[in-house]
Structure 1
């Protein structure tokens, strides 16, 4: 998969900056965001599952062990493996079940990732979330990173809501329902808005880390 072109991203950012002052500030400070890219494959879905509800560092360690165990994380390899061996990498039992459920769906043909990449966004969403183990958050991130869908949007992502609060310079973060409604003004570029917000808050955290106490 390749990211949307810089020309398309720039045009989308300019549209978003005009529509939302918070995104305007993010754009002024950072410009066009880097688009995260991943292959549209089974391993990408498993990686997203590994990272759910964990810190980036902890999840990265677990995923690294998982890749070492398998070499290549494929549906066939996961289904052939002892689930306890996968758990020994640090995966929880529910996450192992989800990995196996998705592998079974791909093996049966119920989930076709080539079809997901080629179809319209709503059809792609429906196919992904019809599989046990793929929730809306996982589906939207797969559509963002592995398909390059510019309007995919992970509803309820705390990082996005926090970034928007800080950029808006308000004391209280929007609730999920309010934030989701607000994001309607970003269509058809909600995925671009997400990258702008993630890019801005990650840059803020990096600066805070560099400015920390020196030994």
Structure 2
């Protein structure tokens, strides 16, 4: 086992392998899951407004739909800048596939960023729980959105989105549980995997993909 830590960001297969080695040492039950899935690919999205926008696009839609909507959205002039996004008409954004709710969510986030009330760079200085609390204090950002942002945009090594249905299903299968864990139970289960909870989430998302032969979330 390599004792030299990689970059704190989960931005390479080597970094993920490093965390998985320690994760399996913490919970040997995960060795069989890792043997089945292999090393998950790193998934790093842009930071700041583009990153949070991509996550909002992916909420409650299929992966294929999210990719198609994002592909059209990012071509809108100014869509990826909070100041310029506020200058877009709702009809323009809705035309690429946004719901009214998602248009408003991104508008609220953009307004908070422009006002200096929401600073994504500030997250780099915070531990996971504090970073989640900071994000969810802003209207339009729920726990799942905050946790997925921290994982896939900030590359945080110790986040587990316990409210993700794919993860709950994969954990039930991977650990051989009689019932799907509740969110509260999942939070407690995941504590065993700290400080490598993000690697655990990647592992179980990959297991879900293997189980269903499809991706669990928007990459």
Match of 2:19 among 12, 19, 35: 12
Relative to 1, partners in 2 of residues 1:40 and 1:108: Cα closer, same or farther, differing over 3 Å? same
The match for 2:209 is 202
**Which residue, 126, 144, 155 being the options, matches 1:148?**
155
Q: Is the 8 A contact 2:13 2:42 kept in 1?
A: no
Query: Alpha carbon RMSD of aligned pairs, Å?
Result: 2.2
Query: Which residue number corresponds to residue 213 of structure 1?
Result: none
Distance 1:85 1:119 in 2: 36
| Pairing 1:177–2:211 present | no
1:19-168 aligned within 5 A? 19-70=26-77, 72-168=79-175
Structure 2 length normalisation: TM-score?
0.85
* SS of aligned partner of 1:104: helix
- Does residue 3 in structure 1 map to residue 10 in structure 2? yes
TM-score norm. by structure 1 comes to: 0.86
Kept after mapping to 2: 8 A contact 1:78/1:103: yes
How many residues of Structure 1 are paired with residues of Structure 2 in the alignment?
207
**In structure 1, what is the Cα distance between the partners aligned to 2:186 and 2:64?**
28
1:62 and 1:9 map into 2 onto residues whose CA distance is: 29
Gaps of 5+ in 2: 1-6, 215-219
**CA drift at 1:107:** 0.5
